């Protein structure tokens, strides 16, 4: 390796942004991807990308409010400096993508059109119809191709990342990957390795994520010693199209463009929904959350839909859980112009035109807030130090993680349209720091590659051939995967209970043990999908275990992690004095819970592959945690009590002049 070289694993929005930026900064990049980069899961993103913009600024919005909505929506579980930096970069990132040719929707005056997404009252979301991810991905792909032609980037599509290579000092010096066509192995020496391999939804079997979102790369890094943060925080999206093969998303943009969620008041009302009068419908999100309506944060909307179907028995269908998502009141022309991409998906898979008939939807696993633990360096202004090698670096020096596979930006619940921003931001922002972190050892490692890389190559080859030879086992990997998915969906999604989580952990251990007896049906050594899938299934168990253990140990409700046994319901009293007393008690409990649980879960892969869990304090230096009230009954009283306490605390600290927080409780 005569010149510095970085290995980027993953060619979604995060990986392509990092690759583009590194190449611009003069560094050579090897870009490895399981699928052609244009087929990365980012291509499926529908609704849009968030940033403060000139329209929202006129309404009083600013970067601080975007930051604040993000941490409030995430239940304060994310370190605040990276989130602040990301919100500050938002407008520049959307401008950049516009200049790179993304065909964002425009208003008749030629300005970028904006829509509202969940968890905010501002229209911060720029969009390209309902195929925003595809347009962003293709624009970045064009840029990376430009650098490919210049010779700065070399793409390795249909390659599988198998393990990072660490030197004796524990620093990452490259990786071992496998060509999925010839099945040959290759060592990639590098000055730094960036993992940008997206989410791990396949652990849940059916989800809205693509079929390559197995989490295999992250699991391999985890087993090599990288820590994993906040694994138990898995987002279940409120609106997906139930399907036998997979669950297809019906983007939040449908509600952003006026879509209304409702159920008939009569259980399983057999009438055509169009003939059910308004008075006989329950628009339960609008009724319970008058301020945010259909655009409450996802964790809340999901729980409400789940609750109305399972506890209140108001599912639209008797034998299948679902509610209506209604766009039929929106003009057809608007729907085609702004939501064409997703409405076509519904029509194609359900055979019903959602412009005419309300859609039937139900929540589905969608996003992983957790991911590889990464570091950051805080600046004196509360954001990040640009160019610091600590930014996005895992606990393994020289190994970085960006995009959905890091744990950094979304805390306990991600706000819609913030992921595309965090992917592009983390990719662009980490590049100068990655370069600053070069220690010159990569070149030396390449020269001494025989010792460092050959043992990795040998290990992976042996593992592969041992699996190929397993033609006589009594277990079927696809069957085991289905069992794992069903189990995880049952116990570790919307509602979680300790006894079920504990039992599920034991069951996952047993599935993992059975995986050791899997037979592969294809023993050929050419484009063998069967062996690749079996390997990635094996990698799902360590992540499933850390999700379950993290969830089991976290005895509270925070964002997407909801345990009814630890819920803090709203106030019940109607008498003002009694209500006040209840609000005081509620705030006492909130304070105690914050003290105990406002911390990130950090999983380390222990001996025998069992997760060892520890906790890390969260940096809340920019805005203190406060009750996440949204539509909670008695929220106004709780907010009043809370603000009084905060004011008193500030007086105690000699900061009486600061205004009390005017929260976003509805
Ligand atoms: C249906 C859907 C719609 C969405 N819509 C929105 C939206 O409108 N707005 C928003 O903000 N967010 C949205 N999201 C979330 C968002 O799309 C993702 O979080 C984001 O695209 C992830 O990008 P990424 O670059 O981190 O990873 P990905 O785009 O998933 O890319 C991962 C890359 O890693 C590669 N890879 C994986 N494993 C390996 C391996 N073992 N070896 C080599 N390469 C590997 C893959 O080939 C791929 O190139 C949506 C999500 C879904 C499921």
CB of 638 shorter than 6 A to ligand 1 = no
Pocket test for ligand 1, best of 7, 10, 213, 365 (most atoms within 8 A of CB): 10
CB of 323 shorter than 6 A to ligand 1 = no
Position 60 scores a pLDDT of 96
> How many secondary structure helices (H) and strands (E) does the chain include?
18, 21
Pocket test for ligand 1, best of 7, 29, 32, 40 (most atoms within 8 A of CB): 40
Position 343 scores a pLDDT of 96
Q: If you compute the radius of gyration of the chain from its CA atoms, what whole number of angstroms results?
A: 25
pLDDT band at 449 (very low <50, low <70, confident <90, very high): low
CA distance 543 to 477: 17
CB of 136 shorter than 6 A to ligand 1 = no
CB of 418 shorter than 6 A to ligand 1 = yes
Alpha helices in 74-175 (DSSP H): 80-99, 132-150
Residues 6+ apart with CB under 8 A from 544: 203, 484, 488, 508
Position 215 scores a pLDDT of 98
Report the chain's terminal Cα–Cα distance, integer Å.
58
Q: Which atom of ligand 1 is nearest to the CA of 249?
A: 1
Residues 6+ apart with CB under 8 A from 137: 12, 13, 16, 37, 38, 40, 42, 43
In this structure, the dihedral spanned by the alpha carbons of residues 651, 654, 656 and 659, taken in order and rounded to 10 degrees, is -100
Q: Which atom of ligand 1 is nearest to the CA of 404?
A: 26
CA distance 625 to 596: 13
566 closest CA partner among 598, 595, 593: 593
Cβ atoms 80, 384 nearer than 8 A: no
CB of 48 shorter than 6 A to ligand 1 = yes
Nearest CA to ligand 1 atom 10: 417
pLDDT band at 607 (very low <50, low <70, confident <90, very high): confident
CB of 358 shorter than 6 A to ligand 1 = no
Which tens digit of pLDDT belongs to each residue from 178-205? 999 999 999 999 999 999 999 999 999 9
Cβ atoms 223, 399 nearer than 8 A: no
Nearest CA to ligand 1 atom 33: 10
Q: Name the DSSP letter for residue 280.
A: G
432 closest CA partner among 390, 401, 373: 390
Nearest CA to ligand 1 atom 27: 198
pLDDT band at 504 (very low <50, low <70, confident <90, very high): very high
Position 659 scores a pLDDT of 39
Residues 6+ apart with CB under 8 A from 471: 519, 520, 521, 523
Q: Name the DSSP letter for residue 201.
A: G
3-state secondary structure at position 167: coil
pLDDT band at 440 (very low <50, low <70, confident <90, very high): confident
CB of 15 shorter than 6 A to ligand 1 = yes
Using the predicted structure, report yes or no on whether residue 493 has a pLDDT greater than 90.
yes
Mean pLDDT within 621-639:
93
Q: Name the DSSP letter for residue 622.
A: S
pLDDT band at 656 (very low <50, low <70, confident <90, very high): very low
Query: Are β-strands 125-126 and 153-157 bridged in parallel, bridged antiparallel, or unpaired?
Result: unpaired
Which tens digit of pLDDT belongs to each residue from 39-59? 999 999 999 999 999 999 999
Q: Which atom of ligand 1 is nearest to the CA of 199?
A: 30
Could you tell me the sign of the dihedral formed by the alpha carbons of 37, 38, 40, 46, in that order?
positive
Position 661 scores a pLDDT of 37
CA distance 310 to 289: 20
Nearest CA to ligand 1 atom 11: 417
Nearest CA to ligand 1 atom 38: 197
CA distance 486 to 477: 14
Nearest CA to ligand 1 atom 41: 217
CB of 41 shorter than 6 A to ligand 1 = yes
CB of 44 shorter than 6 A to ligand 1 = yes
Which tens digit of pLDDT belongs to each residue from 58-115? 999 999 999 999 999 999 999 999 999 999 999 999 999 999 999 999 999 999 999 9
Nearest CA to ligand 1 atom 31: 12
Using the predicted structure, report yes or no on whether residue 210 has a pLDDT greater than 70.
yes
Which tens digit of pLDDT belongs to each residue from 13-34? 999 999 999 999 999 999 999 9
Pocket test for ligand 1, best of 41, 43, 247 (most atoms within 8 A of CB): 41
Nearest CA to ligand 1 atom 51: 45
CB of 403 shorter than 6 A to ligand 1 = yes
Which tens digit of pLDDT belongs to each residue from 329-386? 999 999 999 999 999 999 999 999 999 999 999 999 999 999 999 999 999 999 999 9
The DSSP line for 307-325 is HHHHTS---SSSSS--EEE
Residues 6+ apart with CB under 8 A from 531: 464, 467, 468, 520, 522
Position 443 scores a pLDDT of 62
Q: Name the DSSP letter for residue 654.
A: T
How many angstroms does the Cα of residue 116 sit away from the middle of ligand 1?
22
Q: What is the pTM of this model?
A: 0.95
Instruction: Give the bridge partners for 241, in sequence order.
Output: 248
CB of 97 shorter than 6 A to ligand 1 = no
Average model confidence (pLDDT) across the chain:
95
Using the predicted structure, report yes or no on whether residue 123 has a pLDDT greater than 80.
yes
Angle between the N-to-C axes of helices 635-652 and 576-597, in degrees from 0 to 180, rounded to the nearest 10: 60
Which tens digit of pLDDT belongs to each residue from 133-166? 999 999 999 999 999 999 999 999 999 999 999 9
Position 441 scores a pLDDT of 72
Q: How many CB atoms within 10 Å of residue 24?
A: 14
Using the predicted structure, report yes or no on whether residue 490 has a pLDDT greater than 80.
yes
Pocket test for ligand 1, best of 16, 29, 45, 346 (most atoms within 8 A of CB): 45
Cβ atoms 501, 491 nearer than 8 A: yes
How many angstroms does the Cα of residue 222 sit away from the middle of ligand 1?
19
Q: Which two tokens stand for residue 118?
A: 């969940």
CA distance 430 to 332: 43
Could you tell me the sign of the dihedral formed by the alpha carbons of 420, 425, 426, 427, in that order?
positive
CB of 491 shorter than 6 A to ligand 1 = no
Which tens digit of pLDDT belongs to each residue from 221-271? 999 999 999 999 999 999 999 988 889 999 999 999 999 999 999 999 999
Position 663 scores a pLDDT of 37
Q: Name the DSSP letter for residue 10.
A: -
Which H or E element spans position 543?
Answer: helix 529-553
Could you tell me the sign of the dihedral formed by the alpha carbons of 144, 149, 155, 157, in that order?
positive
Which tens digit of pLDDT belongs to each residue from 510-562? 999 999 999 999 999 999 999 999 999 999 999 999 999 999 999 999 999 99
Active site residues: 298
Position 658 scores a pLDDT of 44
300 closest CA partner among 626, 628, 634, 637: 628
Cβ atoms 229, 601 nearer than 8 A: yes
Q: Which two tokens stand for residue 23?
A: 């190449």
Nearest CA to ligand 1 atom 2: 45
């Amino acid at each position: 390796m005569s010149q510095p070289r970085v290995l980027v694993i993953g060619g979604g929005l995060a990986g392509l942004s990092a690759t583009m930026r590194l190449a611009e900064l003069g560094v050579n990049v090897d870009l490895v991807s399981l699928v052609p980069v244009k087929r990365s899961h980012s291509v499926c993103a529908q609704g849009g990308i968030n940033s403060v913009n000139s329209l929202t600024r006129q309404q009083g919005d600013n970067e601080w409010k975007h930051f604040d909505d993000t941490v409030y929506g995430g239940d304060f579980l994310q370190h605040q400096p990276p989130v602040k930096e990301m919100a500050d970069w938002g407008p520049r990132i959307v401008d950049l993508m516009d200049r790179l040719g993304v065909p964002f929707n425009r208003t008749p005056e030629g300005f970028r059109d904006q829509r509202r997404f969940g968890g905010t009252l501002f229209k911060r979301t720029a969009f390209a119809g309902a195929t925003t991810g595809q347009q962003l991905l293709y624009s970045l792909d064009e840029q990376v191709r430009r650098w490919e032609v210049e010779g700065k980037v070399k793409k390795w599509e249909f390659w599988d990342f198998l393990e990072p290579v660490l030197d004796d000092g524990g620093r990452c010096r490259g990786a071992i990957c496998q060509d999925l066509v010839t099945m040959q192995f290759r060592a990639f020496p590098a000055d730094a390795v960036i993992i940008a391999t997206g989410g791990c939804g396949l652990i849940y079997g059916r989800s809205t994520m693509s079929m390559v979102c197995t989490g295999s790369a992250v699991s391999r890094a985890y087993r090599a010693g990288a820590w994993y943060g906040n694994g138990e925080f898995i987002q279940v999206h409120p609106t997906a199209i139930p399907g036998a093969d997979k669950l297809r998303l019906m983007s939040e943009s449908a509600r952003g463009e006026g879509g209304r969620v409702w159920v008939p008041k009569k259980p399983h009302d057999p009438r055509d929904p169009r003939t059910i009068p308004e008075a006989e419908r329950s628009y339960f999100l609008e009724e319970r959350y008058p301020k945010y309506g259909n655009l409450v944060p996802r964790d809340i909307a999901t729980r409400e839909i789940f609750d109305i179907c399972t506890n209140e028995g108001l599912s639209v269908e008797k034998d299948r859980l679902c509610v209506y998502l209604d766009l039929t009141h929106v003009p057809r022309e608007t729907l085609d112009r702004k939501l064409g991409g997703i409405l076509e998906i519904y029509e194609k898979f359900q055979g019903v035109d959602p412009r005419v008939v309300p859609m039937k939807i139900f929540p589905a696993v969608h996003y992983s807030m957790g991911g590889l633990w990464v570091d950051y360096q805080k600046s004196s202004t509360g954001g990040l130090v640009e160019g610091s090698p600590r930014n996005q670096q895992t606990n393994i020096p020289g190994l970085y993680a960006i995009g959905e596979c890091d744990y950094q930006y979304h805390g306990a619940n991600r706000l819609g349209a913030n992921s595309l921003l965090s992917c592009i931001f983390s990719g662009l922002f980490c590049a100068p720091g990655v370069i600053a972190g070069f220690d010159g050892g990569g070149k030396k490692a390449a020269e001494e590659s025989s010792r460092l890389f050959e043992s990795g190559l040998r290990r992976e080859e042996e593992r592969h051939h041992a699996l190929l030879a397993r033609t006589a086992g009594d277990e079927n990997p696809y069957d085991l995967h289905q069992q794992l998915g069903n189990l995880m969906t049952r116990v570790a999604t919307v509602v979680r209970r300790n006894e079920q989580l504990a039992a599920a952990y034991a069951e996952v251990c047993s599935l993992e043990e059975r995986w050791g007896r899997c037979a592969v049906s294809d023993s050929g050594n050419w484009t063998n999908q069967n062996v690749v899938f079996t390997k990635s299934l094996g990698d799902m168990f360590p992540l499933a275990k850390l999700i379950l253990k993290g969830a089991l140990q976290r005895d509270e409700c925070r964002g997407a992690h909801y345990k009814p046994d630890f819920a803090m319901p709203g106030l019940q009293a109607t008498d003002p004095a009694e209500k006040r007393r209840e609000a005081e008690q509620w705030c006492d409990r909130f304070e105690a819970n914050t003290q105990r649980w406002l911390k990130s879960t950090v999983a380390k892969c222990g001996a025998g592959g069992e997760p060892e869990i520890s906790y890390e304090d969260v940096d809340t230096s920019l805005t203190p945690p406060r009750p996440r009230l949204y539509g909670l009954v008695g929220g106004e009283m709780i907010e009043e009590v809370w603000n009084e306490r905060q004011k008193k605390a500030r007086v105690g600290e000699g900061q009486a002049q600061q205004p009390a927080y005017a929260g976003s409780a509805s």
